[in-house]
């Protein structure tokens, strides 16, 4: 299972990379805005800085919603670095753009997936990844995890190469459940990944080991 971090914050990306378990980064226009990153050149420079930290797979989202605009923006993003994955929303022109980038050998992440039908279309159009949003479905009383399982099942039925990238992952149990149902990737804030480390028995066990060691050493 691959772990991506969902942020535009360079310090957080560096910290996650140094943990040794990071496989990629996702961003979106809201996360870029949250980081105060705006303006074409600044945005591109920021993506380059992210690419310089990690080994591969940096999702950079287009803003255009028409085919020509998405292609133009996506090509410009892909030119920044070979690590860029062009992020495209699941809308009518987005499907055409997915097909175009697939034919050009440029990787894509199809975002804002909220139904299995959308995920099926994205796979048929040649998306490299689909991003179903778990937390946002949970927020409105739909079962986000059920959607992940459904998409995994459908892709397995037809051997689609598109990877299921679970997004809007809010806590460590979301992440673990994604692993259980077979999501290929999760993207989440760093605290969701570090949350997996925590166990009270590890903390108390370590405290006992250290205390016993100190006692034996006569400290
Ligand atoms: O990758 C999508 C993600 O950023 C959305 O997360 O928590 O805003 O629903 P959230």
Q: For the domain that residue 87 is a member of, what is the CATH number?
A: 3.20.20.70
- The residue whose C-alpha atom lies closest to atom 9 belonging to ligand 1 is 168
- The residue whose C-alpha atom lies closest to atom 6 belonging to ligand 1 is 168
Q: Ligand 1 test: best mutation among 88, 110, 113, 167, most atoms within 8 Å of CB?
A: 167
Ligand 1 centroid, distance to 168 Cα (angstroms) = 4
Owning domain of residue 124: 2-216
Average pLDDT, the chain: 97
Give the pLDDT of residue 218: 86
Give the pLDDT of residue 134: 98
Check if the beta carbon of residue 93 is closer than 8 Å to that of residue 66: yes
pLDDT lower than 70: segments of the chain: none
**Token pair of 150 as six digits:** 């459904």
Give the pLDDT of residue 201: 98
- Residues sharing a CB contact under 8 Å with residue 47, sequence separation 6 or more, in sequence order: 27, 58, 60, 77, 80, 81, 84
Q: What pTM does this model have?
A: 0.96
Ligand 1 centroid, distance to 167 Cα (angstroms) = 6
Protein residues whose CB sits closer than 6 Å to any atom of ligand 1: 6, 26, 28, 131, 133, 135-136, 167-168, 170, 187
**Ligand 1 atom nearest to CA at 167:** 1
Total domains in the fold of the chain: 1
């Amino acid at each position: 299972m691959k772990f991506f971090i969902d942020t535009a914050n360079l310090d957080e990306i560096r910290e996650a990379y140094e943990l040794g378990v990071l496989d990629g980064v996702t961003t979106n226009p809201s996360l870029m805005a949250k980081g105060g990153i705006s303006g074409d050149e600044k945005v591109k420079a920021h993506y380059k800085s992210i690419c310089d930290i990690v080994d591969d797979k940096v999702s950079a989202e287009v803003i255009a919603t028409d085919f020509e605009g998405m292609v133009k923006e996506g090509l410009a993003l892909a030119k920044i670095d070979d690590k860029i994955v062009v992020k495209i929303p699941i809308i009518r022109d987005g499907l055409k753009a997915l097909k175009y980038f697939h034919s050009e050998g440029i990787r894509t992440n199809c975002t804002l997936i909220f139904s299995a039908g959308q995920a099926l279309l994205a796979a048929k159009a040649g998306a490299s990844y689909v991003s179903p949003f778990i937390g946002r479905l949970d927020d409105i009383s739909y079962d986000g995890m059920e959607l992940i399982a459904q998409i995994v099942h459908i892709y397995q039925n037809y051997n689609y190469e598109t990877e299921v990238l679970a997004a809007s992952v809010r806590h460590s149990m979301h992440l673990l459940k994604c692993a259980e149902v077979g999501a290929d990737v999760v993207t989440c804030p760093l605290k969701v990944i570090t949350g997996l480390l925590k166990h009270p028995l590890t903390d108390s066990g370590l405290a006992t080991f250290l205390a016993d060691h100190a006692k034996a050493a006569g400290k």
